[in-house]
Amino acid sequence: MKPIGQGATGTVWQGVDSATEEPVAVKLLHESLLRQPRLVTRFVQERTILLMLRHRNVVRVRDLFSVGETLGLVMDLVAGGSLRDHLERVRTVAPAEAARLAAQVADALAEAHELGIIHRDLKPDNILVLERDGRLETRLTDFGIARILNVPSMTTPNAVVGTPHYMAPEAFHGVTPSPATDVYALGVLLYELVSGQPPYLSDSVPELMRLHAEGRPHRRRGIPDELWKLIRACLHAKPRQRPAAPALVRDLRLLSRKLAGIAALPPPPPPRLAPADPDDMAVDPPELRDGIRLPGRHAVPQARRPRNVAPRHRWLRSSALIAVLAGVLLATGIATSWWHPGLEPHVQPQVASMSSKPHPARVAPHSPAPSRARKKAAVRVKRPAARPHRTTRSPEPEAYGPWQCAQGFVIDLSTRSPLVPRPCHSVGRNVRFQASLTAPAGGRADIEVTLRDADTGTTVAGPTRCAGLTFTRGAMTRECGPAGAAPRRGRDYTVVMAYRYERDGQSSTNTARGRVFTW
């Protein structure tokens, strides 16, 4: 067998059915996840869901097998790659072709919704394509995180699955998914097919949440009126106002005929976004990350590479090329003398002495009155406070490199709040470390930051604690630190951030790990 792809729970290999000699795709569950009953159950659920779905636009499952400690799914091989691969080659698709491909996906969703199944992570990466008679056909896959509506949710509490560029506004707040959730993602997909990029682009998850909630996608010149009307209906902020999947099938098929002959739009200019780690925008349950060290992930320490993991560089999710940047000031490096009120309650301000004589305020009650010269000295001490624009900033004692920050995104279901934790480090003669948390207004948090040995987990510096941080509309990101340390050289370290967040009488605790670095 040879590897041909990789997903959140397993690696996909190309094999051969020994009975029919037909090529097949074999999805093997990551070895590091086999000891997690919840994930094994989810993996088996994927097979159950796909066996229920017998649709021409859904990847067909042939068998589920177990060999030793390995679980695998045998599926039809779709050798044409993903719709994401196709988009990367052609950049934009003609309106008629976009409507035709979207109609196929809507048809598959309509049958899934009829069975009470919600896909929850519809995007070009999860749509495979093949060519027949010179035309593309789609095959919807990756129902491993789907939710059967009449079965209790298997999603880990305090986590939501999805990819922020394709998530409906209600999905950001942990609302129970519905068929309208998939319809919204289909509207994003249709927009991307004709425009060359999703409707909302940002390097900040809170900003993406705001854009999705406001629901004002930019209409590129050249998108036909009827197609734009359908896209806007799918992207409606209110789930009840979106069309159902069966109605979309009819409308899209009609549009694919009416829009024939209209050329594809020119490719859009590249977005001006900072380079980012590829997986930072993928929102997976914590158990999908346990025991795995993915590029850009900070949730867990590095683990041994499973034997069945394929090389990642060929299948990095292009839809997740924008990372969460929750503390822009931190990313650019904050001067150590700058503090936001209340962020560092344990740091006492340092006052430089300007005279060896006692300050007048500290003279004993029965001491002689201070001399005129002493009074003048006291005036000179107070002058900088009265005229702050004449004060001089102390020189930086030593140079540090830029802040290196890990970033993640989780929706806490107990408080119904999207949270962006961000542990950071900077190295120079010593090591500096700090953390920030981005959260909705109206909440409060306690943060504790430590520097730990990445191999042993031993705390080598800290903790630095910041209690009672409040979040407002003008301050949705709160920082804790920086603190300094001089650990042993030649070892690997990581910043660990523990936080407790409270809102509307509900609270939750969690941790986040920074990137492992050698100092």
CA distances from 140 to 125, 144, 154, 251 (A): 10, 12, 21, 20
- pTM score, whole prediction: 0.57
Closest CA to 297 of 312, 271, 278: 278
Q: Helix-strand-coil percent breakdown of the chain, rounded to 5? A: 30, 25, 45
Closest CA to 422 of 511, 343, 315, 318: 511
Render pLDDT for 247-292 as a digit per residue (tens, 0 to 9): 999 999 999 999 999 999 999 987 654 444 433 344 443 333 333 2
Three-state SS for 205? helix
pLDDT of residue 150: 52
Half-sphere exposure at residue 273, Cβ-oriented, CA atoms within 13 angstroms:
18
For 307, the token pair is 């034997």
List, in order, residues 6 or more apart from 114 with CB less than 8 Å away: none
380 has pLDDT over 80: no
CA distances from 432 to 371, 405, 425, 498 (A): 46, 12, 6, 17
Closest CA to 50 of 145, 176, 137: 145
- Could you tell me the domains of the chain? 2-76 (3.30.200.20), 83-285 (1.10.510.10), 328-334+399-518 (2.60.40.1930)
Query: What's the mean per-residue pLDDT of the chain?
Result: 75
List, in order, residues 6 or more apart from 5 with CB less than 8 Å away: 11, 12, 310, 315
Burial bucket for residue 226 (CB in 10 Å: 0-12, 13-18, 19+): middle
343 has pLDDT over 50: no
Render pLDDT for 45-80 as a digit per residue (tens, 0 to 9): 777 777 778 899 999 888 888 777 778 888 889 888
Residue 133 falls in the annotated catalytic set: no
> Facing residues of 136 across strands?
131
What would you measure as the largest C-alpha separation in the chain, in angstroms?
Answer: 107
Number of neighbours of residue 500 by Cβ within 10 angstroms: 14
Nearest 10 degrees: Cα torsion 245, 250, 254, 260 = 40
Q: Tell me whether residue 27 is annotated as binding.
A: yes
Q: Do 472 and 441 touch, CB atoms closer than 8 A?
A: yes
Render pLDDT for 170-222 as a digit per residue (tens, 0 to 9): 988 777 889 999 999 999 999 999 999 999 998 778 888 889 999 999 999 99
358 has pLDDT over 80: no
Q: Do 218 and 247 touch, CB atoms closer than 8 A?
A: no
The one-letter code for the residue type at 270 is P
Marked catalytic residue, from 17, 63, 76, 121: 121
Cα 348–chain centre separation: 36
Residue with the larger pLDDT of the pair 31 and 503: 503
Distance CA 137, CA 436 (A): 45
Residue with the larger pLDDT of the pair 321 and 85: 85
Strands 492-503 and 2-6: unpaired
